Amino acid sequence: MKPLALILALPLALAACATTTSPTGRTQMVGAVSQEQLNQLGAQAFAEMKTKTKQSTDARQIAYVRCVVGAIVRELPANGQATGWESAVFVDADPNAFALPGGKVGVYTGIFTVAKNQDQLAAVIAHEIGHVVSRHHDERITRQAGASGALQVLGAVLGSRYGDGAANAAVQGGGILAQTGFLLPGSREQESEADVVGQQLMAKAGFDPRAAVNLWQNMMAAGGSRPPQWLSTHPDPQSRIGELQNRAAGLVPTYEQARAAGRKPGCG
């Protein structure tokens, strides 16, 4: 779809926004863009990230992340598995990770300083994939479209793909990543929901859900008196750890069933 056609179609897209229910039963407003357009945005944001940030050449790190992503993705519904997931490891000391619509997962090398084993890494990656499963990017774009106008959001993103003039608009607006908000933290509500969905996914994949507690404890310790920036918009850390502990206890049977069924990831 060319930019002009997209612009003309946007009022209809906004009119088509719908109320749906998230995996935890929360009411969401989504649909400002189609799933195809959402996947395009994810792919474009990921491509931009890869041009701006150095990628790791450590074969072990790359295989490690790919293994964990693959194990979690196998627990998604059929349409989620069919996306064709891609992962990349970026050289950055920030203990961070992200997942985007269209099946894109990025992990920063700094995460390996706090994720001490495959179960803890799975807690991070499953949390990020939980954002995608829960349609949080769709929800955020729909909110942004309603608040500031969808032309600014999608015109900048897809314009940068189709022409210099539109690309300039994207630059003026802060670039693809800023425009879509894809790599910005979600709301606390979304972060809590991604915790729930992610912990369920990791248990189903054969990763110990109790490791999510250890991971967040490590994250807090790494930040000293000041938590890492990645946690700044997340739920209160101590409350979050308590919720993760309570949920983990209920998910241990799911984890044990997964292991008994042969889902025993040997990622590293």
> Any catalytic annotation for residue 36?
no
C-alpha span between 150 and 142 (Å, rounded)? 8
Instruction: Give Cα 220 to chain centroid, integer Å.
Output: 20
Residue with the two structure tokens 């990543």: 177
List phi, psi (to 5°) of 205. Answer: -85, -5
Which is the catalytic residue, given 128, 139, 191, 193? 128
Residue with the two structure tokens 């729909």: 142
C-alpha span between 18 and 145 (Å, rounded)? 13
Instruction: Give Cα 230 to chain centroid, integer Å.
Output: 13
DSSP string, the chain: --HHHHHHHHHHHHHT-EEEE-TTS-EEEE-SS-HHHHHHHHHHHHHHHHHHSPBP--HHHHHHHHHHHHHHHTTS-HHHHTT--EEEEE--SS--EEEETTTEEEEEGGGGGT--SHHHHHHHHHHHHHHHHTTHHHHHHHHHHHHH-HIIIIIHHHHHHH-HHHHHHHHHTTHHHHHH-TTS---HHHHHHHHHHHHHHHHHTT--TTHHHHHHHHHHHHHTTS--GGGTTSSPHHHHHHHHHHHHHHHHHHHHHHHHTT------
Which residues are known catalytic residues?
Answer: 128
